[in-house]
Amino acid sequence: MSSTAVLTPAELLSHWQGLRRVTRRVIEVFPEEHLHTFSVGGMRPFAALAAEMLAIAVPMAKQIAGGESTEYEGTPPATKAELLAKWDEATAELDTWYAKVAPERFGETITLFGQYTGTVWSQFFYAIDNENHHRGQGYVYLRALGIEPPPFWDRQ
């Protein structure tokens, strides 16, 4: 590793997938009857937040890897089982597309979803930061519903 490398692309992906496992556990413990409806302060229900994460991660990696412009779509799957299935599908697809991004491209500037311009690393960071942001909101929803969220520090 170079002396200027904070971490490698593989380490970043592994870190992200660890955080995605936490998000998956939030979906798992979320009561099905509240997944598409429960809100605090008029915010989107957790299914919509999870759908946004799905609409960003793989489409982003795919665009970066292949240059294909994918539309941002975030329609929430109808049931918890379908959402979890989509999540698992995305986990595998993220690994596949991310692996196609050459390591030397992380500093390259790219425009995604037809409008967001930044370096490849900053695009992936946006996806990760945004997932943390919305998962944290899911924790509040769970607490408001009287449910213990999964531990944030457990990434296994």
The residue assigned the tokens 């008029």 is 42
Q: How much of the chain is in helix, strand and coil states, percent to nearest 5?
A: 60, 5, 35
Binding segment (CB under 8 A) for a second copy, from list 29-37, 38-46, 53-61, 87-95: 38-46
Alpha-carbon gap, residue 77 to 156, rounded angstroms: 25
Q: How far is CA 98 from CA 2, 60, 83, 109, in A?
A: 21, 9, 22, 16
Closest-CA residue to 48 (of 70, 69, 73): 73
Question: Considering the rule CB under 8 A, would residue 17 count as an interface residue with a second copy?
Answer: no
CA 1 to chain centre: 27
Q: Which of 33, 108, 129, 154 binds a second copy (CB under 8 A)?
A: 129
Considering only 65, 103, 108, 109, the residue that binds a second copy (CB under 8 A) is: 103
- Pick one of 32, 108, 144, 154: the residue that binds a second copy (CB under 8 A): 144
The stretch near a second copy (CB under 8 A) out of 12-20, 23-31, 63-71, 78-86 is 12-20
Which residues of the shown chain bind a second copy in the complex (CB under 8 A)? Answer: 1-9, 11-12, 15, 19, 40-43, 103-104, 106-107, 119, 121-122, 125-126, 128-130, 132-137, 139-146, 152-153
